[in-house]
Amino acid sequence: MNPYDVTDDVRGMKILFVNVFFIGTPGPGNPWVLVDAGLPGYAGQIRKRAEELYGPGAKPQAIVLTHGHFDHTGALKGLLKEWDVPVYAHTLETPFLRGKSHYPPPDPAIGGGAMAYMSWMFPTSPTDLGDRLRTIDDGAEIPELAGWRVIHTPGHAPGHISLFRDSDRTLIAGDAFITTDQNSVTAVASQRQEFHGPPAYFTIDWQAAKASVTKLNNLNPAAAGVGHGVSVRGLDLQVGLNRLAHDFEAMSIPSEGRYVKQPAVTDENGIVDMPAPTSYNVARAIGWGLLAGVALYLLWPGDSDDDE
């Protein structure tokens, strides 16, 4: 199994810095479900991996979204052009998936790394899934995913869900907790295993996020796949998640930022109320500087014989 696989029948795939999961025993013609849809431009690679696992022309029975942020839905429309399947998401995610409302904006003022500093550039615009969308709530069992139940784990997003299979205590946590420091480009690149709460720059309710980690820890999962970072199992998972649940504030909540003291409030129609924005002029300047540095690196001419 690769570092993102969770069990024999829950296979993971990393797409740059975010993971998607294929639930179903590999084999030609076997039924399966896709969890999340990664970044824009990767529909072809997701389909290719599906065919490697389930045979030529493989199509899922359904797609389940842990939440609707751009890095979890980016390839969705491309996939749906080929796959006529239902898409499941929590009721509180529907305004962002029916084109009604933008997500609350990210919070680069939390600082802590290049990903956070650049987060003000990340898209928050809604998508409209039309009649493909099916809504689910806490405790529901998705018809195409027998044996798994929906766990509402808000904080990072209003309708964020995780999936749990009681028979072997397998968990797909989404971004409720992650196993890399998603704020940092170097940590994302190395994929060094370390437990964190949800990506801080996109988390809009820290007390809800803390309660969600406690809820998942209380399930005592035996294996877990996450939205960012490698999959974990056994004692590593037990110790790491338990520590995160008990020391969440020290380990994960930023010292400052827009949503640290007051959460954004949303409902089935979208944003209801948000705290006043904090200044992120410094973060914006750093973000532009980082982008400029990357561009310069990519455009800088390499060594050639003409230089000799």
* Count of domains for the chain: 1
Q: Are 175 and 42 in contact (CB under 8 A)?
A: no
Cα distances (Å, whole numbers) of residue 104 to 216, 265, 273: 25, 9, 9
Domain for residue 140, yes or no?
Answer: yes
In whole angstroms, give the CA distance from residue 259 to residue 203.
Answer: 8
| Residue in this structure with the two tokens 């919070």, named with its chain if needed | 107
| Residue in this structure with the two tokens 């529901």, named with its chain if needed | 140
The CATH number linked to 20 is: 3.60.15.10
According to the model, what pLDDT value does residue 277 have? 78
According to the model, what pLDDT value does residue 293 have? 52
Instruction: State the Cα angle at 86 between 22 and 80, rounded to 5°.
Output: 75
**Close Cβ partners of 166 (under 8 Å, ≥ 6 residues apart):** 147, 149
Over residues 66-74, mean pLDDT? 97
Would you place residue 300 in the very low, low, confident or very high pLDDT band (cuts 50, 70, 90)? low
DSSP 38: -
Query: Which residue, 158, 110, 123, 118, is CA-closest to 138?
Result: 158
Over residues 156-185, mean pLDDT? 95
Domain for residue 303, yes or no?
Answer: no
pLDDT tens digits for 83-122?
Answer: 999 999 999 999 999 999 999 999 888 866 777 887 878 8
In whole angstroms, give the CA distance from residue 15 to residue 40.
Answer: 10
Query: Which residue, 104, 132, 141, 137, is CA-closest to 119?
Result: 104
Over residues 268-273, mean pLDDT? 96
According to the model, what pLDDT value does residue 213 have? 98
pLDDT surpassing 50 at residue 296: no
Over residues 18-24, mean pLDDT? 98
Domain for residue 300, yes or no?
Answer: no
According to the model, what pLDDT value does residue 304 have? 37
According to the model, what pLDDT value does residue 182 have? 81
**Close Cβ partners of 49 (under 8 Å, ≥ 6 residues apart):** 13, 22
According to the model, what pLDDT value does residue 280 have? 57
Domain for residue 240, yes or no?
Answer: yes
Query: Which residue, 66, 88, 193, 199, is CA-closest to 136?
Result: 88
Instruction: State the Cα angle at 224 between 221 and 230, rounded to 5°.
Output: 150
Helix axes 206-218, 234-246, angle to 10 degrees: 140
According to the model, what pLDDT value does residue 281 have? 57
Domain for residue 221, yes or no?
Answer: yes
Query: Which residue, 214, 187, 205, 193, is CA-closest to 264?
Result: 205
pLDDT surpassing 70 at residue 282: no
pLDDT tens digits for 207-232?
Answer: 999 999 999 999 999 999 999 999 99
DSSP 128: B
Lowest-confidence range among 61-70, 105-114, 130-139? Answer: 105-114
pLDDT surpassing 80 at residue 46: yes
Q: What percent of the chain has pLDDT over 70?
A: 89
Domain range for residue 223?
A: 10-295
Domain for residue 73, yes or no?
Answer: yes
Would you place residue 279 in the very low, low, confident or very high pLDDT band (cuts 50, 70, 90)? low
Mean pLDDT, all residues of the chain: 90
Would you place residue 307 in the very low, low, confident or very high pLDDT band (cuts 50, 70, 90)? very low
Q: Coil, helix or strand for 199? A: coil
Would you place residue 129 in the very low, low, confident or very high pLDDT band (cuts 50, 70, 90)? very high
DSSP 205-239: -HHHHHHHHHHHHHT--SEEEESSS--EEHHHHHH
Query: Which residues in the chain belong to E strands, given as ranges?
Result: 10-15, 18-23, 33-35, 62-64, 87-90, 133-136, 148-152, 161-165, 170-174, 223-226, 232-233, 265-267, 270-273
Cα distances (Å, whole numbers) of residue 308 to 174, 239, 298, 305: 52, 56, 22, 6
Domain for residue 60, yes or no?
Answer: yes
Domain for residue 131, yes or no?
Answer: yes
Threshold 0.85, pTM exceeds: yes
According to the model, what pLDDT value does residue 294 have? 46
Lowest-confidence range among 32-41, 92-101, 118-127? Answer: 118-127
Over residues 280-294, mean pLDDT? 52
According to the model, what pLDDT value does residue 122 have? 87
